[in-house]
Structure 1
Amino acid sequence: MEVTLSRREPTGASCSTSTPQNPLPQLLQLPSGLALLELQGTINLPDHSEPEEESNGPNQTRIGRLVFPDYDAQDKSTAWMKRVYMYVGKHQRLTGEVKKLPKAIAVIRKKTPLSLQQTMDVEGDTPKTEALEIVEIVKYNILFSSRPEPVGVYDGGN
């Protein structure tokens, strides 16, 4: 199982996008649920001139890919969580593991203004309260606490 990671870069004044900028980090969907990605240190991103490291869209930089080498969809155990690789560019590999968070984290967002119209006050100009909704629950953390290892070009497991 592989997951490609990308980071959203801030948009400039001259750059227009149709989707609003989301300052929150993207969450990872694992077979066991959502996860946060925790890195200890700095990632040295690959040179943008490398053809494999193309951007995934406007204002995004590809960081790397996550590989779960021991994951088997048929196996219901959590042994696969003990080893996770994150490949950054062609020559760096971080080794980590998936850990269960001591307390789950709720991902919340404000309800859209259209859904808040029921809570308008008498004048109709300001809502009485701000409504929040729970979007997801995060129960896992992918932790990379060791230094990157130098590796050759990743061949996709072949």
Structure 2
Amino acid sequence: MSTARLEPPRADRQPDGPNPLPQLIQTPSGLALLELQGAINLPQGKDGAPLPGLQIGRVEFPDHDPAAPAQDAAWMKRVHMFVGQHQRLTGEVKKLPRAVAVVRRRENRMEYGSGGAHMEEGENLEVVEIIKYKLMFGNRPEPVGTANAV
């Protein structure tokens, strides 16, 4: 059986450059997963691949009050996701039954100890974030004007 070391993120961690994975969604209380019914159809280039750097839309929390206490969950009742220029999804924020850890592989690095310095071996994993919430959109998109669009 293969094993790997799992470590918390380092405080001095620097970004590794452009990440090909989509970024997570930031909510007033941390990162969240996005749950949709259906699919998002992305425009494609001539080679059939999705266009790089394409912004799908934006997420708004209309009931969020930055002055409200941290334990106030009223902002979770309603969330809007604007997709493209003409569609808006309305949903809510739900707490996950169990938190989800976002883990990534990291390169082996030098370890310094009483026996001197040596390079780590094997596979090493790092916890990047802990996700406690998800955004749920269960209804069809509503048409909106371009004033609210991306």
- If the length of structure 2 is used for normalisation, what is the TM-score? 0.68
Which of structure 1's runs of 4+ aligned residues deviate more than 3 A? 18-21
Higher strand share: 2
Equivalent pairs counted in the alignment come to 122
Q: 1:62 aligns with which of 39, 55, 60?
A: 55
- Asked if the contact 2:111–2:119 (Cα under 8 Å) also holds between the matched residues in 1, the reply is no
In structure 2, how many angstroms separate the alpha carbons of the residues matched to 1:21 and 1:37? 19
1:149 aligns with 2:128: no
> Which residue of 1 is the match for residue 84 of structure 2?
89
The Cα shift of 1:145 comes to 1.1
Which whole-Å deviations, capped at 9, do the CAs of 1:7-56 have from their partners, x for residues lacking one? Answer: xxxxxxxxxxx94553x33211212111011111122458xxxxxxxxxx
1:101-123 deviation per Cα after TM superposition (whole angstroms, max 9, x unaligned): 0000011122323x2x449xxxx
Q: Identity of aligned pairs, percent? A: 57
Does the alignment pair 1:137 with 2:130? Answer: yes
Q: 1:80 aligns with which of 60, 69, 75?
A: 75
Paired amino acid for 2:83: V
The residue number in structure 2 matching 1:25 is 22
Greater helix fraction, Structure 1 or Structure 2: 1
**1:111, 1:74 → 2: CA distance?**
38
Residues 1:64 and 1:34: Cα distance change in structure 2 (over 3 Å): same
Q: Which has the higher contact order (CA 8 A, sep 6+)?
A: 2
Cα displacement (A) at 1:91: 1.4
CA distance in 1, matches of 2:67, 2:119: 55
Instruction: State the SS of the aligned residue for 1:136.
Output: strand
Aligned to 2:47: none
Q: Note closer, same or farther for the CA distance 1:90–1:126 as it changes in structure 2 (3 Å cut).
A: closer
1:36 alignment partner in structure 2? 33
